[in-house]
Structure 1
Amino acid sequence: MYQLITDYRDDASLRHSFNQLAEKTFGLSFEDWYQNGLWSDSYRPFSIVRDGEIVANVSVNKTDMLLETKVRHFLQLGTVMTDEAHRRQGLIRELMARIDAEYSGKCHGIYLFANDSVLDFYPRFGFEISPEYESSGQLSSSGTCQFEKLTMNTPANWQLLKDAMGRSIFRGRFDMVDNPGLILFYVTKFLQENVYFHRPTDTWVIAQEENGRLLIHNIFSGTLTETGQVLNLFGSAAREVVFGFTPPETEGYTVAEHHEEDCTLFIKGDLLKLIAGQKLRIPSLSHA
């Protein structure tokens, strides 16, 4: 018999089964995230269990966003997976209906990213495709890079970054707030060597650099509020920048529709239509 469960994060057996299915589906485990104390109540799996094993899942991620100077309460659905032996049983449909019933009227909108094989599935639940937009530009700063790098391989360094998030006065036009665990999910697993900090200005940047091209995922600063001030600290080494978030400035950068292979944004809720209307981007480190 199938049973729908949630809030089992601290159940070692069920968590292990969840991770097994995630590894089989995505090649990804959440166990280190849990053991490092970073899996918070903001990430909530809704799962179908049979004979003690997780066989299907849709996770709800609370992704509050700062939009038009106000914190808006959004939900992102992710980690959508069904064990191959249990497909075509309507399990994801059941989970989606439960999530919709539980959160209806309790958030400003819901969104998700879908691969090309399921583009016809989510409109059945009231979702519609939305574009999102990417800002980029050429750089002409001079001098040497003033940033240091801090490897994110210890709890002490994770805490330093987490504290910097709390102190930050730098704000993009569509920033995720109050969810450091999701950002640290990326930093501790995939971006350990991609955190830069500048002590004099208390500025922290999560970025990937290749041949003078910067992909900036996040900026946190205790003193700086303008993107150009931060970019100047990279000196002449950086010649081009692409933003994984929406910078605060509306001028000075090229804004174009963002396309990612096998990844389509679906939204539900009128407030999320501002993504297209104001040419915003879902922050890259808020994907789950």
Structure 2
Amino acid sequence: MIDKFEVVKGYRHNGTLRKSFNELAKKIFGINFEDWYKNGYWTDKYNPYSIIVENKVVSNVSVNIMEFVANEKSTKYLQLGTVMTAEKYRNNGFISRIMEEIEKDYNNIVEGMYLFANDSVLEFYPKFGYRKTTEYQYSKVICSKCNEVKLKKDNQAQNIQMNNMKDWLLLEKAIEDSVKNCGFEMKNNKELIMFYITQFMQNNVYYIESEGAYVIAEINGDELFLHNIFSEKVVNIDTIANSFSEYIKKVVFGFVPLNNQGYKVEKLCKENTTLLLKGKGFDLFEQDKCIFPTLSHA
């Protein structure tokens, strides 16, 4: 049993603790937040709550202030993530201690809390009032007649390699100026989107000139997976799909389409991942069969 420890939060500018946090995150999840910090995207919206032993981060739960808009209603949530404990320090009740601290700080500030949990901890979080729920994924078969139209150059999706600040700033502006393209939309958190774009998804950003649209997407054969769309006007999904290839037959969404009539909707089943909710702010989310946008996961 470890007797001497402290819970520390809000330390992202502390180089020693940030380095220790990154080392643990790298070991547990294979991720590192240092470039995100250096590029200026790590703000106080992402706040690690960590157990510190001998000036090292040995256990952590990060909190993420999230705002979503659905049916013109804005709701503030807290997303928990980067839940980890160094192997040597497990079974000391550290995560429970951190959860108590988070509850104390945020219980009366947000309308709900949520996290994505793996199967090994599904019996742990209900002790804190969390319950399982289901996300729903939308898909659409692309109009075959649209596929017959030969694309003009300004209609084609141009891949933008997001490896420099100039292109990052252009995308940031597009995010800020975009119309609403999602039925359940994350707001005021371009920093989290840029976490993905500047690291794992540098090759997944496209620009369609004719639509004035940045599209974050992956192509798998004749299937297009859309993570998000940032555009000057509400776009036509068939047009977006055919901007990638005339052979795209199906679009799968990592968000709730703005107008989803005629779309196929199915329960989303992810291996070793379950969405857990706590609080009263999820009525619309569950009632309207929503999904948390893939680029909102922290």
Q: Same fold (TM over 0.5)?
A: yes
Distance 2:242 2:263 in 1: 15
The question of whether the paired residues in 2 share the 8 Å contact of 1:76 and 1:110 is answered with: yes
The question of whether the paired residues in 2 share the 8 Å contact of 1:173 and 1:247 is answered with: yes
Report the equivalent of 2:168: 158
The question of whether the paired residues in 1 share the 8 Å contact of 2:181 and 2:234 is answered with: no
Distance 2:74 2:239 in 1: 25
The reply to whether residue 260 of structure 1 matches residue 270 of structure 2 is yes
CA apart distance, 1:228: 4.2
The question of whether the paired residues in 2 share the 8 Å contact of 1:64 and 1:73 is answered with: yes
Matched residues, percent identical?
41
The reply to whether residue 87 of structure 1 matches residue 97 of structure 2 is no
Report the equivalent of 2:22: 19
Residue identity in the other structure for 1:219: I
Distance 1:67 1:83 in 2: 38
1:221 to 216, 231, 242: 231
Post-superposition, which runs of at least 4 consecutive aligned residues in structure 1 deviate over 4 A? none
The reply to whether residue 244 of structure 1 matches residue 254 of structure 2 is yes
SS of equivalent to 1:231: helix
Distance 2:241 2:8 in 1: 46
CA apart distance, 1:274: 2.8
Residue identity in the other structure for 2:190: P
CA apart distance, 1:249: 1.3
Report the equivalent of 2:81: 78
SS of equivalent to 1:233: helix
Distance 1:238 1:195 in 2: 17
Residue identity in the other structure for 2:24: L
Distance 2:211 2:256 in 1: 22
The reply to whether residue 133 of structure 1 matches residue 136 of structure 2 is yes
2:113 to 110, 114, 118: 110
CA apart distance, 1:277: 1.5
Aligned residues: 288
CA apart distance, 1:237: 3.2
SS of equivalent to 2:229: strand
CA apart distance, 1:170: 2.9
CA RMSD in angstroms, aligned pairs only: 1.3
The question of whether the paired residues in 2 share the 8 Å contact of 1:224 and 1:230 is answered with: no
CA apart distance, 1:226: 4.5
The 5 A counterparts of 1:1-288 are 1-139=4-142, 140=144, 141-142=146-147, 143-144=150-151, 146-288=156-298
Runs of at least 5 residues in structure 1 that lack an aligned partner in the other structure: none
Bigger Cα displacement from structure 2, 217-226 vs 22-31: 217-226
CA apart distance, 1:210: 1.6
The question of whether the paired residues in 2 share the 8 Å contact of 1:227 and 1:247 is answered with: no
Residue by residue over 1:207-261, the C-alpha shift from the partner in whole angstroms, topping out at 9 and shown as x without a partner, is: 0002121110001111225544533534513211100000011312100000111
TM superposition score normalised by structure 1:
0.96
The question of whether the paired residues in 2 share the 8 Å contact of 1:60 and 1:77 is answered with: yes
TM superposition score normalised by structure 2:
0.93
Instruction: Note closer, same or farther for the CA distance 1:134–1:74 as it changes in structure 2 (3 Å cut).
Output: same
SS of equivalent to 2:52: strand
The question of whether the paired residues in 1 share the 8 Å contact of 2:141 and 2:251 is answered with: yes
Instruction: Note closer, same or farther for the CA distance 1:224–1:250 as it changes in structure 2 (3 Å cut).
Output: closer
SS of equivalent to 1:111: strand
Runs of at least 5 residues in structure 2 that lack an aligned partner in the other structure: none
SS of equivalent to 1:237: coil
Distance 2:31 2:225 in 1: 23
Residue by residue over 1:96-155, the C-alpha shift from the partner in whole angstroms, topping out at 9 and shown as x without a partner, is: 011011001111111100000000000000000010000012113323362211111011
